[in-house]
A and B are shown apart, each in its own frame.
Chain A
């Protein structure tokens, strides 16, 4: 060794060891003290998120932990090894003390590493959590009466910070989950709104549009919200009503946005309202449903796929509310609930009750293969799915 200054130590020395040379592998001075390092297998797509400090581990102590990037959720699996895995950090000193020896010191023997498997977000808990205390007309009235935010009424409510601590899903997936539940942030807490109360706001909105001769596909946000606030609904909820039953068509106008009411969402709302009392004959249902549909909208049974089940009893057709949104998002639980509901499913019905299931690495055909038995009595008959 002619140039003692160029001697590498630590990890650099191990990784850059020159031909015909050697180095000493030793226990570090810190070996055995409580330095617990964990090894985590990274996927390439995680590197940007890691750089932006947006990777987190989420879960309660009694749950299996998941790792979340901004947009994805991964199950974490510890894979142990019986090999001796010597961990060698970069050297803490620039040069070796004695200037002669190249040394790499081992700080720890690793028992194994954590592997990541992409998984579906675990959002069922979100639904249960928010359903405990939905926002209702009672609360809207109370908010007017007493201004003080009594601590008790906030019990069990969740802020965004609470949710990311409780729900095993990435930020993006959590946001989508809240959107799918039509949740809204009120006074810093994420809430779902009582369906009956939402219905009242929608009904008022529809009445106002008749009174003021508004077109349901060109609703001016300011006008609609102001009128609903005059009718006694909180500003936030008035806006939320537009968001739930409509979509923005024109955002670029600067001042007030223009909204259009979504025919399907409005019609589904009224169908659910009618079927809230239980199952009924198809004719009776159609009669009551169509009566509620606002002018200019057309309702048809196609809209109710995934919301309503039709069944033949004798010669009569009966309908009953059965919403895909009320089903568990875990595939095994989902199919178990579906087959409890109906032992046999035809594909044309079943597809609407599994359309929202997303399992990484499994297509919807794969899901059916895994959780159902497919039978086809004759070649041209529609296939029937039963429980496995």
Chain B
């Protein structure tokens, strides 16, 4: 079978997406697990004019840089077409297509382990659990 990969926005106008990548896993505090929509993961900050960033999650701070990807990534989304095309093969099931909904050229990569902040901010909603430093929580 054949699945078409389409870009309905026209590759040139394809909207750019972004990636924020970090090591390990971000874990939501048990009290928020039922509704994480709109929950803040952390604050992304660019402290100077350099392309250096920090991401503060709970009371951990990560430092990272902006990276241009060697090869761009297409963001694909599965689309089911319910109309059966004129292929005459009698298949009535929906045709699956992949729509290119975005393109990613850069990511902000935090590849170091988190640094614990001394002063505790009030009531962190989420905490970062990455390797041994999490034992301080």
Chain A positions near chain B (C-beta within 8 angstroms): 10-12, 14-15, 17-32, 35-44, 47, 50-51, 53, 55-61, 67, 82-90, 104-106, 110, 113, 161-162, 164-165
Instruction: Let me know if B21 and A83 touch, CB within 8 A.
Output: yes
Chain B residue numbers with a CB within 8 Å of A25 are 20, 40-44, 55
Chain A residue numbers with a CB within 8 Å of B87 are 161
Chain B residue numbers with a CB within 8 Å of A162 are 89
Task: Give chain B interface residues in 92-137, CB to chain A under 8 Å.
Answer: 98, 100-104, 106-108
Interface size in chain B (residues, C-beta < 8 A): 57
Instruction: Let me know if A84 and B22 touch, CB within 8 A.
Output: yes
Instruction: Let me know if A26 and B41 touch, CB within 8 A.
Output: yes
- A-B pairs with beta carbons under 8 Å apart, 27 shown: A14-B20, A19-B47, A21-B46, A22-B45, A24-B43, A25-B40, A28-B38, A32-B36, A37-B75, A37-B76, A37-B77, A38-B98, A42-B103, A50-B100, A55-B5, A57-B3, A57-B5, A58-B2, A61-B1, A85-B19, A86-B19, A88-B17, A89-B75, A90-B16, A161-B87, A161-B89, A165-B2
B106 — nearest CB in chain A belongs to which residue?
A15
Instruction: Let me know if B37 and A27 touch, CB within 8 A.
Output: yes
A52 to chain B, nearest CB (A): 9
Tell yes or no: B80 within 8 A of A by CB: no
Residue among A10, A25, A35, A59 with max Cβ neighbours from chain B (10 Å) = A25
B71 — nearest CB in chain A belongs to which residue?
A41
Chain B residue numbers with a CB within 8 Å of A58 are 1-3
Chain A residue numbers with a CB within 8 Å of B7 are 50-51, 53
- Per-position binary interface string of chain B over residues 13-48, scored 1 when its CB falls under 8 Å from any chain A CB and 0 otherwise: 001111111111110000000001111111111111
- Given contacts A23-B43, A37-B75, is CB(A88)–CB(B2) below 8 Å? no
- Given contacts A39-B104, A40-B76, is CB(A90)–CB(B15) below 8 Å? yes
Chain B residue numbers with a CB within 8 Å of A83 are 21-24
Instruction: Let me know if A20 and B46 touch, CB within 8 A.
Output: yes
B8 — nearest CB in chain A belongs to which residue?
A53
Instruction: Let me know if A15 and B1 touch, CB within 8 A.
Output: no
Instruction: Let me know if A59 and B36 touch, CB within 8 A.
Output: no
Question: Could you say which of B21, B42, B47 contacts A20, with CB atoms under 8 Å apart?
Answer: B47
Instruction: Let me know if A22 and B43 touch, CB within 8 A.
Output: yes
A346 to chain B, nearest CB (A): 43
B128 to chain A, nearest CB (A): 9
- Given contacts A21-B46, A26-B40, A84-B26, is CB(A89)–CB(B73) below 8 Å? no
Chain A residue numbers with a CB within 8 Å of B104 are 39
B44 to chain A, nearest CB (A): 5
A43, B73: Cα distance in complex, Å:
9
Chain B residue numbers with a CB within 8 Å of A14 are 18, 20, 44, 108
Instruction: Let me know if A56 and B2 touch, CB within 8 A.
Output: yes
A161, B49: Cα distance in complex, Å:
55
Chain B residue numbers with a CB within 8 Å of A47 are 11
A87, B74: Cα distance in complex, Å:
12
A88, B73: Cα distance in complex, Å:
13
Chain A residue numbers with a CB within 8 Å of B89 are 161-162
A30, B45: Cα distance in complex, Å:
24
Instruction: Let me know if A22 and B106 touch, CB within 8 A.
Output: no
Instruction: Let me know if A41 and B73 touch, CB within 8 A.
Output: yes
- Given contacts A27-B39, A57-B2, is CB(A50)–CB(B46) below 8 Å? no
Tell yes or no: B53 within 8 A of A by CB: yes
A16 to chain B, nearest CB (A): 10
Given contacts A29-B38, A50-B100, 14 further A-B contacts (CB under 8 A): A11-B15, A11-B17, A11-B102, A12-B16, A22-B46, A51-B7, A51-B12, A53-B7, A59-B1, A84-B24, A85-B21, A90-B15, A105-B38, A110-B19
A98 to chain B, nearest CB (A): 12
B101 to chain A, nearest CB (A): 7
Chain A residue numbers with a CB within 8 Å of B48 are 19-20
Instruction: Let me know if B44 and A22 touch, CB within 8 A.
Output: yes
Instruction: Let me know if B11 and A37 touch, CB within 8 A.
Output: no
Instruction: Let me know if B4 and A56 touch, CB within 8 A.
Output: yes
Chain A residue numbers with a CB within 8 Å of B20 are 14, 25, 86, 88, 104, 106
A58, B2: Cα distance in complex, Å:
5
B14 to chain A, nearest CB (A): 9
A59, B2: Cα distance in complex, Å:
7
B71 to chain A, nearest CB (A): 5
Chain B residue numbers with a CB within 8 Å of A15 are 16, 18, 106
- Given contacts A17-B46, A56-B2, is CB(A42)–CB(B74) below 8 Å? yes
- Given contacts A32-B36, A104-B18, A165-B1, is CB(A19)–CB(B49) below 8 Å? yes
Task: Give chain B interface residues in 42-91, CB to chain A under 8 Å.
Answer: 42-49, 53, 55, 71-78, 87, 89
Chain B residue numbers with a CB within 8 Å of A40 are 5, 73-74, 76
A14, B108: Cα distance in complex, Å:
8
